[in-house]
Amino acid sequence: MKERIEEILDYVATAVEKINDSNQAQALRVEILGKNGKLTSLFRFMKEVPSEKKGEVGKMLNDAKISVENMISAKETFLAQAELDNEINSVEKIDITLPSKTCTGSLHPRTIIQHEIEEVFKSMGFVVEDGNEVETEYNNFTAVNVPENHPARDMQDTFWLDNGQVLKTHTSAAQNRILKKYPLPIRAIFPGRCFRNEDLDAGHENTFFQLEGVIVDKDVSVGNLIYFMKEMLSKIFKKEVEVRLRPGFFPFTEPSFEMDVRCPFCDGHGCSTCKQSGWIELCPCGMIHPEVLRKGGIDPELYSGCAFGLGLDRMTMLSFNINDIRELNSGNLKLFKQFKLRS
């Protein structure tokens, strides 16, 4: 029995050397340890072994079984590792730390303009804030002095959610949160995506972007508003611009204005961009209504503020000479590939 076991072990040791893949390893396993395998068959002779020898022979057989299994699985592990090494070596090596040779992507023109405007305001001490896209009815309307059942709510045709929240109709929806969040004085801008149930045309989209700003301090005046807007517009249009204010109406500002910029493309002489008027309507704004300050936890007797709601899409269209607002949400790569970072 002992010789027979040793023979089998020698046989396996030689056979294992010749194995080249996992199928061959499995075939050898079956040949030796399978139901009718060479070693398995020896177990059948156990009943003929005298009982005083059974323990010793049984142990020999079991040890042999373990040795065979160990030899075959060691070879399998070796083969699997070799296969993996082979695979790794055959793949083209890429150094992911190298800079890319070509950069085919580009920022959306609106993002480019948004970043430029953010940089200008940051340089003047403003913080840049984010707003929610889904807002409470309170923040979107009530907190900015548009109470329930007030006709002013009709100015913005709103998408309501089943839970009573709204898709924010304007970036002013973040005013209340920001007035409460920051200690005074406050200088903040907050760009964001807004939604309204609009009929679409070249100038109207149901999804559009605004960039809101608020300045709250002691003795803030319309002069501050004009100064900051002029600074920003001059940097974006890369020339000294002139602005004018016309009276407007918004429930959250008193007084309210429409700010126009003298057409930077024709210097006010009249062109197709300004529709020959010499002026471009750009930015609704005004002095923050005392009620809005109060709702934001600020005493309007001590502090005053101004706010503006710049149309980011409009700024983008003017800066990149895009005529149809719908292009901005079109995902039209042919259009977007034309735009690179402006220096």
CB of 287 to ligand DAH, least distance (A): 8
Q: Which amino acid is at 339?
A: F
The residue nearest ligand DAH at its CB is 309
308 binds ligand DAH (CB under 6 A): yes
Among 285, 298, 317, 318, binds ligand DAH (CB under 6 A): 285
CB of 116 to ligand DAH, least distance (A): 20
CA distance 237 to 317: 12
286 binds ligand DAH (CB under 6 A): yes
Please provide residue 186's backbone torsions phi and psi, each rounded to the nearest 5 degrees. -120, 135
DSSP 301-342: TT-EEEEEEEEHHHHHHHHHT---GGGGGTT-HHHHTT----
Helix extents (H) in the chain: 2-18, 22-33, 38-43, 51-90, 109-123, 137-140, 175-181, 222-237, 290-295, 312-320, 333-336
284 binds ligand DAH (CB under 6 A): yes
CA distance 290 to 208: 28
Site string for ligand DAH, 169-208 (x = CB under 6 A): -x-x------------------------------------
Using CB under 6 A, which of the segments 74-82, 157-165, 183-191, 307-315 binds ligand DAH?
Answer: 307-315
Cα-Cα end-to-end distance for the chain: 89
Using CB under 6 A, which of the segments 66-74, 87-95, 227-235, 302-310 binds ligand DAH?
Answer: 302-310
212 binds ligand DAH (CB under 6 A): yes
How many other C-beta atoms can be found within 10 angstroms of the C-beta atom of residue 151? 8
Smaller CB separation from ligand DAH, 40 or 158: 158
CB of 110 to ligand DAH, least distance (A): 17
121 binds ligand DAH (CB under 6 A): no
CB of 335 to ligand DAH, least distance (A): 26
Smaller CB separation from ligand DAH, 257 or 339: 257
How many other C-beta atoms can be found within 10 angstroms of the C-beta atom of residue 321? 8
CA distance 193 to 114: 12
Angle formed at CA 319 by CA 333 and CA 283, multiple of 5 degrees: 120
305 binds ligand DAH (CB under 6 A): no
CA distance 262 to 242: 5
Site string for ligand DAH, 224-253 (x = CB under 6 A): --------------------------x--x
303 binds ligand DAH (CB under 6 A): no
Smaller CB separation from ligand DAH, 37 or 213: 213
Q: Which residues bind ligand DAH (CB under 6 A)?
A: 170, 172, 212, 250, 253, 284-286, 307-309
